[in-house]
Amino acid sequence: MNSRSAFRSLVPAALAAALNGGCTGHGATAGSDPNARAVRMVAVELSRGPGPTTYSAIVAPNAQVDLAFRIPGYVVAVHQAKAGDGRVRPLEPGDPVPSGLILASIRATDYQAVVDKARGANDESAAGINAAEAQLAEAQAGLIQAKADFARIETLWQQESITKPAYDGSKARLDIARAKVGAAQAAVAAARQRSTEAAAQLQEARITLDDTQLRAPFTGTLLERRMDVGTLVTAGAPAFVVADVHRVKIRFSIPDTALREFRAGQVLPITVGAFGDERFEGRVLSLAAAADPKARSFEINVAVANPDLKLRSGMIASIQVAESGTDHRQMRVPIDALVHDPTTDRYLVYTVEERDRKTIAKAVPIRPGPLAGNQVSILDGLREGQRIIASGANLLRPGDVVKEVQ
């Protein structure tokens, strides 16, 4: 999370967008100096009493995935759903998606041909095993006969009843029978290896054929559809975005000084701008183990049940937490005083200084904290009582001539 997104988790998104446009605009002039800009100034206040702190948060799905085909091909079908007017049309964002639903299919004929070829090779390898085993059985039978013949010849040889050529011929036939058995055994092993490889190729071809259909991995809601019938999809190109919003996560960031206020399993009240004062109950899932290196804030995830799907991804939520202790002293400034500097990706406020008998706007980098009503706590960069520009700050640039108005 960069510093801009970190702060946006502390203030409403619309207000953060307003701040981001503040460094380049030009407003109306004031007074006789055509370069003077009308501004209103306030003093930095120091809050002295304990009170609840409001954190602005973002609603995010419990799980969200980009679904893509593993193989390329032409889309031949997209799941059809019934629209509100009763018409049947392809899936659209917002449609419910049950687990295992075939979202889309690509042309399968080419991949079916590969399966058929692999099946033929697998059947052929199975037949090869049968043939090799038959040859082994024949060789083993020949070996048994050759052993019996040689045993009889060897007895006669010992009785000196046969000639040497007859004895040598019987022994040679025995050696040949043994060699045939060894060769047949090797042929059986090779046939079995070919069968294993053919079965693996058939399984791979079947998996590839199955990948011509893209299925939903879980029950959720369709967020995006990026293809239509006739689209040539490439392997790995996102085709659908599906999110599980039956349970959502509320994400927000806090400064290190507020870490003691949160713990895993803690129940927090949550309000969402879209539903007014209606309260939702969330439970802290996790606290970041380390701060974001740029914003120096810690992200917290809160789980909220969403059975009726009222909460949607991207909604702005607010979490109010009562601070413990008796005296939390924090400097606070109006939210309108903050300006985002896109060059340095930091936040700043403007004070003024006298230069050449003119009142000049001077930028002061600050580190913002959590939002409290229409004010923001300042963790670093300002001092109590320091005068800053509150109204008109978003229209300034460093060095602009200003004129204070009441």
Whether the per-residue pLDDT at 54 is higher than 90: the answer is no
Out of 12-21, 154-163, 278-287, 359-368, which region has the weakest mean confidence (pLDDT)? 12-21
State the amino acid at position 187 in one-letter form.
A
The count of residues in the chain is 406
**H or E element, residue 314:** none
pTM of the model: 0.59
- pLDDT score of 281 more than 70: yes
The answer to the question of residue 272 being in a domain is yes
What is the Cα–Cα distance from 373 to 376, expressed in whole angstroms?
8
Look at the block and give the residue holding tokens 């042309």: 107
Question: How confident is the model over 158-171, as a mean pLDDT?
Answer: 90
Q: Are strands 316-322 and 52-68 parallel, antiparallel or unpaired?
A: antiparallel
Residues 323-353: pLDDT tens digits? 665 455 678 888 888 888 878 878 899 999 9
Choose one of 322, 343, 370: the last residue of a domain. Answer: 322
Together in a domain, 121 and 201: yes
Please give the Cα distance from 117 to 119 (Å, whole number): 5
Task: Tell me what the pLDDT averaged over the chain comes to.
Answer: 86
Q: Does any domain span residue 41? A: yes
CA 60 to chain CA centroid, nearest Å: 12
CATH, residue 158: 1.10.287.620
For the chain, give the percent of residues with pLDDT over 90: 57
pLDDT of residue 328: 55
- Judge contact between 309 and 97, C-beta under 8 A: no
Give the integer Cα–Cα distance in Å for 34 and 358: 12
In tens, the pLDDT along 174-208 reads: 999 999 999 999 999 999 999 999 999 999 999 99
- 94 and 38 in a common domain: no
Total structural domains within the chain: 3
Is 114 found in the same domain as 80? no
Alpha carbons 139 and 180: distance in angstroms, whole number: 6
Average pLDDT score over residue span 249-276: 90
Domain that holds residue 155: 109-210
Over the Cα atoms of the chain, what is R_g? 39
Q: Which residue has the higher pLDDT, 7 or 66?
A: 66
DSSP letter string over 93-127?
TT-EE-TT-EEEEE--HHHHHHHHHHHHHHHHHHH
Read off the CATH number of the domain in which 399 is found.
2.40.420.20
Question: Which residue, 303, 322, 341, sits at the end of a domain?
Answer: 322
Residue 317: CATH number of its domain: 2.40.30.170
The answer to whether residues 249 and 202 belong to one domain is no
pLDDT tens per residue, range 134-147 = 999 999 999 999 99
Are 256 and 276 in a shared domain?
yes
